């Protein structure tokens, strides 16, 4: 099923568009409101438009509505952050609080501690009152002031908690697993016929959530990763037989590796999960490159070359736990150079968590704020079971099922990967492209 079909079917099934109605008419100082009939097209290629009957697939745009559902003076709002850290979490929290408080006049906002655990009574976490004073300056820090944890909790217990606290809107900032959890919470809310909106702000350091343009914190993360690439390049070029090997985050998607490599434009090789690597072809090519130029720079995503790890017994347990390709490759390179009697000064750098725990850069700060504004507008207008994203430079509402249906990956036939191939000059011999394999 292609993206358009997926979108059409999902939109037909979900509760996103104003299920709670619009009860309150706003009288603001501004006359700028989103028209309820406005739409953002999924795809604008002429072919697609020509071949379809009926309206083309589209998203509901984000932004303020004239009719809102919740009375700001009455409601209580909850915020929770889940999963691994990502630059911008505190910007989103601050943006939600300031938009709710200053723009809508909502005074009662609470934060749940340590992810979904904070919404389950038996874990015993206190909630945090969130005021403009409390969130002042937090955007200058990495991490999340609410704490986080991995894993979902029983939706029934969570809705019990929301009931008990009288929460009318729950904002969930988290990854695809957390969004599935949010979906189940919304379903439990619906079963109980409660009027609680569940709105997500999707978080992924790997930029692998589909239908949301790009994810917040991604620019910050790959920007920080470029420091490791620069360091490895500096080391490699300074010594005879210098080889820089950098491993970056990216279990299933190589976006960080691709963008970070392009930023410096010094990498000779980029290996990502989406394009199978042929290590046996890579090694002699690397040796030749080092002989000819005196040095080489290799950037790998942690999820690349997983076949080798399995074949090598490194991770033969059958489960989907990934091994570090970088560590494997380091050993293979050193062995290969040693066997060939050639000098190798290999410097291995893995910045690991440093790229995800930094504060957001200014671009991501703006983006987080605007995502938060869009999320508040959506929730206040009664939207639920949705996440906010951008599509073709507009903020949109994306149904949760759509946001978790697939995984955004680097297209081996797309513009980004072509830019990488042109920039590195790495040959196709040791990266077997899917469409070639099919031939």
Binding to a second copy (CB under 8 A): which residues in 2-41? 29-32, 39-41
Residue closer to a second copy, measured from CB, 40 or 186? 40
Residue closer to a second copy, measured from CB, 193 or 415? 415
Specify the residue for token string 């988290």. 174
287-326: which residues touch a second copy (CB under 8 A)? none
Q: Residues 397, 402, 407, 413: is their CA dihedral positive or negative?
A: negative
Q: Does 58 bind a second copy (CB under 8 A)?
A: yes
What is the token pair recorded at 309? 């790890």
237: annotated binding-site residue?
no
Stretch that binds a second copy, among 151-159, 263-271, 275-283, 320-328 (CB under 8 A): 263-271
Residue closer to a second copy, measured from CB, 95 or 399? 95
Kind plus residue range of the DSSP H or E element containing 284? helix 279-293
Q: Is 206 a catalytic residue?
A: yes
Binding test (CB under 8 A) with a second copy, winner from 67, 314, 357, 406: 357
Residue closer to a second copy, measured from CB, 39 or 180? 39
Report yes or no: 260 and 222 within 8 Å, Cβ to Cβ. yes
Kind plus residue range of the DSSP H or E element containing 200? strand 197-202
418: annotated binding-site residue?
no
Specify the residue for token string 């998203």. 59
76-115: which residues touch a second copy (CB under 8 A)? 85, 91, 94-95, 98-99, 102-103, 114
138-197: which residues touch a second copy (CB under 8 A)? 139-144, 147-149
Report yes or no: 198 and 80 within 8 Å, Cβ to Cβ. no
Q: Does 348 bind a second copy (CB under 8 A)?
A: yes
202-261: which residues touch a second copy (CB under 8 A)? 213, 219, 222-223, 226-228, 230-232, 234-235, 237-240, 259-260
371-430: which residues touch a second copy (CB under 8 A)? 373, 392-395, 413, 415, 418-419, 421-423, 425, 427-428
Residue closer to a second copy, measured from CB, 183 or 228? 228
Q: How far apart are CA 306 and CA 393, in angstroms?
A: 35
- Catalytic: which of 206, 208, 315, 350? 206
Binding test (CB under 8 A) with a second copy, winner from 4, 18, 22, 56: 56
Residues in CB range of 259: below 8 A, 6 or more apart: 218, 222
3-state secondary structure of 251: coil
Report yes or no: 257 and 245 within 8 Å, Cβ to Cβ. no
Angle between helices 362-380 and 218-238 (to 10 degrees): 160
- φ and ψ at residue 356, rounded to 5 degrees: -110, -10
Binding test (CB under 8 A) with a second copy, winner from 358, 386, 398, 410: 358
Query: Rounded to the nearest whole angstrom, what is the least distance from the CB of residue 200 to a second copy in the complex?
Result: 19
250: annotated binding-site residue?
yes
Q: How far apart are CA 253 and CA 260, in angstroms?
A: 13
Q: How far apart are CA 266 and CA 140, in angstroms?
A: 31
Residue closer to a second copy, measured from CB, 166 or 434? 434
Strand bridging mode 169-174 / 295-301: unpaired
Residue closer to a second copy, measured from CB, 155 or 242? 242
Stretch that binds a second copy, among 9-17, 192-200, 296-304, 345-353 (CB under 8 A): 345-353
195: annotated binding-site residue?
no
What is the token pair recorded at 28? 């603001």
- φ and ψ at residue 291, rounded to 5 degrees: -60, -45
Please choose, from the candidates 206, 200, 237, 259, the residue with its C-alpha nearest in 3D space to the C-alpha of residue 385. Answer: 200
Written in H, E and C, the secondary structure of 232-249 is HHHHHHHCCCEEEEEEEC
Query: Rounded to the nearest whole angstrom, what is the least distance from the CB of residue 58 to a second copy in the complex?
Result: 8
Residues belonging to the active site: 206
Binding-site residues sit at 84, 150-151, 175-178, 204-206, 249-251, 302, 353-356
Binding-site residues for Mg(2+) sit at 176
């Amino acid at each position: 099923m292609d993206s358009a079909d997926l979108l059409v079917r999902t939109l037909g099934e979900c509760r996103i568009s104003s299920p709670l109605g619009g009860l309150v008419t706003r009288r603001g100082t501004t006359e700028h409101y989103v028209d309820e009939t406005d739409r953002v097209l999924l795809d604008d290629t002429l072919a697609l438009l020509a071949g379809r009957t009926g309206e083309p697939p589209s998203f509901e745009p984000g932004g303020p509505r004239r009719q809102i559902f919740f009375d700001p003076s009455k409601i209580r709002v909850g915020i929770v952050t889940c999963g691994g850290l990502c630059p911008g979490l505190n910007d989103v929290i601050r943006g939600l609080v300031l938009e709710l408080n200053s723009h809508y006049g909502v005074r009662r906002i609470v934060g749940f501690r340590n992810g979904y655990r904070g919404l389950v009574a038996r874990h015993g976490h206190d909630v945090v009152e969130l005021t403009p004073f409390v969130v002042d300056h937090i955007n200058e820090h990495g991490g999340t002031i609410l704490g986080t944890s991995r894993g979902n909790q029983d939706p029934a217990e969570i809705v019990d908690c929301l009931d008990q606290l009288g929460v009318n809107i729950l904002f969930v900032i988290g990854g695809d697993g957390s969004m599935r959890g949010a979906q189940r919470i919304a379903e439990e809310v619906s079963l109980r016929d409660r009027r609680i909106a569940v709105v997500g702000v999707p978080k992924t350091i790997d930029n692998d959530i589909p239908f949301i343009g790009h994810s917040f914190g991604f620019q910050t993360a790959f920007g920080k990763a470029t420091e490791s690439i620069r360091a490895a390049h500096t080391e490699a070029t300074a010594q005879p037989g210098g080889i820089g090997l950098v491993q970056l985050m990216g279990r299933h998607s190589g976006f960080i590796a691709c963008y970070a490599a392009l930023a410096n434009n010094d990498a000779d090789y980029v290996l990502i999960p989406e394009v199978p690597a042929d290590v046996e072809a890579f090694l002699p090519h690397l040796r030749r490159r080092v002989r000819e130029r005196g040095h080489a720079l290799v950037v790998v995503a942690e999820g690349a070359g997983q076949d080798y790890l399995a074949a090598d017994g490194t991770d033969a347990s059958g489960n989907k736990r990934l091994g570090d390709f970088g560590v494997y490759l380091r050993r293979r390179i050193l062995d290969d150079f040693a066997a060939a009697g050639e000098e190798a000064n290999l410097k291995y750098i893995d910045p690991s968590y440093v790229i995800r725990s930094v504060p957001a850069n200014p671009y991501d700060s703006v983006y987080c704020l605007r995502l938060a504004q869009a999320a508040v507008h959506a929730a206040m207008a009664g939207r639920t079971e949705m996440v906010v994203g951008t599509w073709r430079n507009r903020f949109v509402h994306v149904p949760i099922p759509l946001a978790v249906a697939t995984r955004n990956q680097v297209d081996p036939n797309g513009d980004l990967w072509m830019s990488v191939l042109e920039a590195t000059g790495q040959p196709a011999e040791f990266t077997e492209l899917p469409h070639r394999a099919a031939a």
